[in-house]
Structure 1
Amino acid sequence: MSTEPQLTRASVEAAHSLIKPYIHETPVLTSKTVDLIASTPQLPSELLGTKWESQPPAKPILRLHFKCENFQKIGAFKARGAFHAIERLKQQSNWEEIKSKGVITHSSGNHASALALASSTSLLPSYIIMPTISSPLKISATQSHHPSLISIHFSGPTSSEREALTSKIQSLTSSTLIPPYDHPDIIAGQGTASLELLSQTTPPSSQSSILNAIITPLGGGGLLSGTALTCSTTPTKVYGSEPSFQGANDAFQAFYSPTGDRITTVKSLTIADGLRTPVGKLNWEIIYHRKLVDGIYSVTENQIKSALKLVLERMKIVVEPSAVVPLAVALYNEDFRKMVEGESGEKGWDLGIIFSGGNISVEGLAKLFGEDEKKETKE
């Protein structure tokens, strides 16, 4: 159930006022080294085998501003939407009944942990449905907040399987559903990350941010649609980014299709595990039908890994694969890079990038990069 009748930038501003006591205002970092790499044309050899191999490499000038939601509570931006949803429920007349029966959600990890934290903070029972392929780190993080109030149930890996088990348990418990992304209160809450980013990149002598655009990861669409609402009254453009592996770029496909019909099923095991879900119905309404997003781009698994390695080695911060998908677009997607070059010319662009989370274990990092090291040793 939503308590938000209409989604606008004002909705995001109101959400921020509600959740400020419960969240961190995460820092915005920059890196001259990463800017230099992003502003250097790719080598022709790097474009071999791609659709751009016969074209001259793009020459964008990029100044990147990283909103580090990996430093947010539970290690991801999802805390914003979860706390907002709970705080909005508290405003309902039947709050005591809601509190007694609890809340329920389905999530591969970050939203699960976020709702577990937000609900337990208000001593509210929660039922969390997680796919069996969720990372052990995200499962243990979800269990850790208040074990006596949190009940975890495991489903199959697809979104349809998660939703089916969620419906079954909700019917048994009469708990209130708080979906991971397709929900007005969640969307407004997630938009607060970009609200802060715009404020943090506004010079003292100015009333507007220096950012020409913001690019976010795109799975279910909570973060992107919330960002689109935030920027809807500003000159700042908004872009989404997805992994292309096994059709995980469902929004990219729909966005540029003749009809714009939302794709409702995704079956992908991309390493960007937080982006394996299809974009939500309400999210798509904001992204596509309200025309609040300027474009969507996708990248390969190897490009995601390369961007992750760059952040770990050059910026010295830990982020998860889903978080670096926007950076991978800025570094490697020639369509995006040529667009920036054409839009900005010699002035270049100040581009906001939201690092959506940092929930990856040492074992997870070793698994991602271990095979590469084995190949190098054999060669």
Structure 2
Amino acid sequence: MNAVAITAEPTDRLSGHELLRQTVGARVYDVARETALEAAPLLSTRLGQPVLLKREDQQPVFSFKLRGAYNRMSQLDAEQRARGVIAASAGNHAQGVALAASRLGIRAVIVMPITAPQVKVEAVRRFGGAQVDVVLAGDSYSDAQAAAARLQAEHGYTFVHPFDDAAVIAGQATVGMEILRQHPGPLHAVFVPVGGGGLLAGVAAYIKALRPEVKVIGVQTCDSDAMVQSLDAGAPVTLSEVGLFADGTAVKRVGDLTFELCQRYVDDMVRVDTDAICAAIRDVFQETRSVPEPAGALALAGLKQYVATHGASDHPMVAIVSGANLNFDRLRFVAERAEVGEQREAVFAVTIPEERGSFRRFCAALDQRSITEFNYRIGSASEAHIFVGVQTTHRDERETLIEAFRSHGFGVLDLTDDELAKLHLRHMIGGSSPLARDELLYRFEFPERPGALTRFLGHMHPDWNISLFHYRNQGADYGRILVGIQVPRDERALFQAFLDTLGYPFRDESENPAYRLLLRE
């Protein structure tokens, strides 16, 4: 959808010198604290690379967003304070605005998507108290932004932008100011999580003004990479969809001002997947005994990927742990996917003959390795299919296992990077059905909220039979469904038209090799 325009304070092109001046004078420490820059000895040893963690999860609102929100609101004049402010946020910016409103005595209306984690919604109400009204609207930040635009036009509130505002950027830039003050020695790079770009723009501009030799590298998720695509295109682009796992950085369009600053000052961008983020969440926990949210671990995931690609440096690398507002239920998903993200688990579908000694040969191929998951179902009178997870120490070990299986005469599919297998098939190994004729297999995503699954089912067309269905609540902000639908070949065009009207992201998995092996007749 197209975002409704919101009226913010006009901002001209911001020079590095002006941003440096604003950063030094930013009013953030009335409410924010200078957070620790801590060594990560376990990670440093494992990577062969000195790693430092900038602990913005230690802020009163458990996120860096307080810095920019307070700095912006502290500069409002008397008339603007009297009218009040409005903000749209998935959660962390909302908490910063709420606490700032409470401290400054300014009324605030904060619009959050219905899908925002409950821990963040409750925190906004707690931090803001009587000064803050929370409005829940829509399924995404863009929906919340549109609702905020309508309320702003109606009441004349001042909009506190989450990232595309000079005062907000200067407030976030104080994170970079602290890093350089806390570590005056050599640094190789600072890794920064990116959504709309406020933190990256501020940190990059500040560091490059004082220490141009230090690399500043932004990190985004593969499914919410608006800044990566914008920098590649040379202008801000708008994504049609964004992934919701790292909700704190799920932004369809970066800011004009943040883009311009990132284009000038950022050295490189890294994209990471969900498994890498889950592994980084576990890394932070092992180092600090705190649990960051997915966006909070994003920078560390990027740092690890950068080291794997470019090699280690003698100088430290810094990852900004940007927030820790995580719904507890989401830990189930994080724990399940962290092993794959750390390349400590490989997942395979292995076909063995239904004959004496086959299972013994299968165990011999594993060569004393630990099994993390095992699902078995007889496939026919002649063969059986096994879905198996195996503990590994590095990615190359997957090839060793594949060769071992094949040397014993077994067919093997490597499913370690197969999203369908990891999300759904591992929970539903049960063989194929001769009744599932003309079956098409699709994956869908929808915003996870009360009644969402029922609404999804209500949209399914009654003329086609559902032959397979899998849904598992992972404690995340969006639901994932696998659906098998029996559609005669002469109705495929009609089915495609139906998909186009659903309004949910989908992916055709009908030719997925794991599905064809394990579930297709």
TM-score range, shorter chain: 0.7 to 0.9
TM-score (norm 1): 0.81
The answer on 1:36 being equivalent to 2:45 is: yes
Amino acid across the alignment from 2:334: L
1:1-379 equivalent positions in 2, closer than 5 A: 1-2=8-9, 6-8=14-16, 11-12=19-20, 14-17=22-25, 18-39=27-48, 62-89=49-76, 95-202=77-184, 209-233=185-209, 234=211, 235-245=213-223, 248-255=224-231, 257=232, 259-277=233-251, 278-288=253-263, 291-333=264-306, 337-339=308-310, 341=312, 344=313, 348-369=314-335, 376=372
TM-score (norm 2): 0.60
Q: Distance in 1 between matches of 2:164 and 2:292?
A: 24
Secondary structure at 1:224's aligned position in 2?
helix
Asked whether the equivalents of residues 66 and 355 of structure 1 are also in contact (C-alpha less than 8 Å), the reply is yes
Q: Distance in 2 between matches of 1:340 and 1:287?
A: 24
Asked whether the equivalents of residues 340 and 349 of structure 1 are also in contact (C-alpha less than 8 Å), the reply is no
Amino acid across the alignment from 1:284: F
When structure 1 is superposed on structure 2, of 1-10 and 19-28 the one drifting more is 1-10
Shift in CA distance, 157/340, structure 1 to aligned 2, threshold 3 Å: farther
Amino acid across the alignment from 1:212: H
When structure 1 is superposed on structure 2, of 316-325 and 262-271 the one drifting more is 262-271
Amino acid across the alignment from 1:171: A
Shift in CA distance, 170/307, structure 1 to aligned 2, threshold 3 Å: same
Unaligned runs of 5+ in 1: 40-61, 90-94, 203-208
Amino acid across the alignment from 2:292: V
Secondary structure at 1:298's aligned position in 2?
strand
State the Cα distance separating 1:324 from its structure 2 match: 1.3
The one of the two structures with greater contact order (alpha-carbon pairs below 8 A, sep at least 6) is 1
State the Cα distance separating 1:280 from its structure 2 match: 1.3
Asked whether the equivalents of residues 101 and 175 of structure 1 are also in contact (C-alpha less than 8 Å), the reply is yes
Amino acid across the alignment from 1:96: A
Asked whether the equivalents of residues 282 and 338 of structure 2 are also in contact (C-alpha less than 8 Å), the reply is no
Secondary structure at 1:73's aligned position in 2?
coil
Q: Distance in 2 between matches of 1:68 and 1:34?
A: 15
Shift in CA distance, 320/9, structure 1 to aligned 2, threshold 3 Å: farther
Shift in CA distance, 9/363, structure 1 to aligned 2, threshold 3 Å: farther
Shift in CA distance, 2/185, structure 1 to aligned 2, threshold 3 Å: farther
Q: Distance in 2 between matches of 1:293 and 1:284?
A: 10
State the Cα distance separating 1:22 from its structure 2 match: 2.1
Shift in CA distance, 266/241, structure 1 to aligned 2, threshold 3 Å: farther
Q: Distance in 2 between matches of 1:128 and 1:12?
A: 29
Q: Distance in 1 between matches of 2:298 and 2:240?
A: 18
Q: Distance in 1 between matches of 2:188 and 2:284?
A: 22
Per-residue CA deviation, residues 219-269 of structure 1 (Å, 9 max, x unaligned), is 010100001111122121111001103xx11222332x3x42322235223
Report the RMSD for the aligned CA atoms in angstroms: 2.3
Match of residue 206 from structure 1 = none
Q: Distance in 2 between matches of 1:309 and 1:266?
A: 31
Asked whether the equivalents of residues 155 and 162 of structure 1 are also in contact (C-alpha less than 8 Å), the reply is yes
Shift in CA distance, 63/13, structure 1 to aligned 2, threshold 3 Å: farther
State the Cα distance separating 1:332 from its structure 2 match: 2.9
Amino acid across the alignment from 1:25: E
Q: Distance in 2 between matches of 1:281 and 1:330?
A: 26
Shift in CA distance, 15/292, structure 1 to aligned 2, threshold 3 Å: closer
Q: Distance in 1 between matches of 2:129 and 2:316?
A: 44
| Larger radius of gyration between Structure 1 and Structure 2 | 2
Identical pairs, percent:
26
Count of aligned positions: 332
Q: Distance in 2 between matches of 1:368 and 1:12?
A: 38
Greater helix share, structure number: 1
Q: Distance in 2 between matches of 1:64 and 1:9?
A: 30
Asked whether the equivalents of residues 54 and 179 of structure 2 are also in contact (C-alpha less than 8 Å), the reply is yes
Amino acid across the alignment from 1:224: L
State the Cα distance separating 1:12 from its structure 2 match: 4.3
Greater strand share, structure number: 2
Secondary structure at 1:311's aligned position in 2?
helix
When structure 1 is superposed on structure 2, of 353-362 and 127-136 the one drifting more is 353-362
Per-residue CA deviation, residues 183-241 of structure 1 (Å, 9 max, x unaligned), is 11111100001110110001xxxxxx421221100101010000111112212111100
State the Cα distance separating 1:2 from its structure 2 match: 4.4
Per-residue CA deviation, residues 46-104 of structure 1 (Å, 9 max, x unaligned), is xxxxxxxxxxxxxxxx2111110000120000010011001222xxxxx2221121011
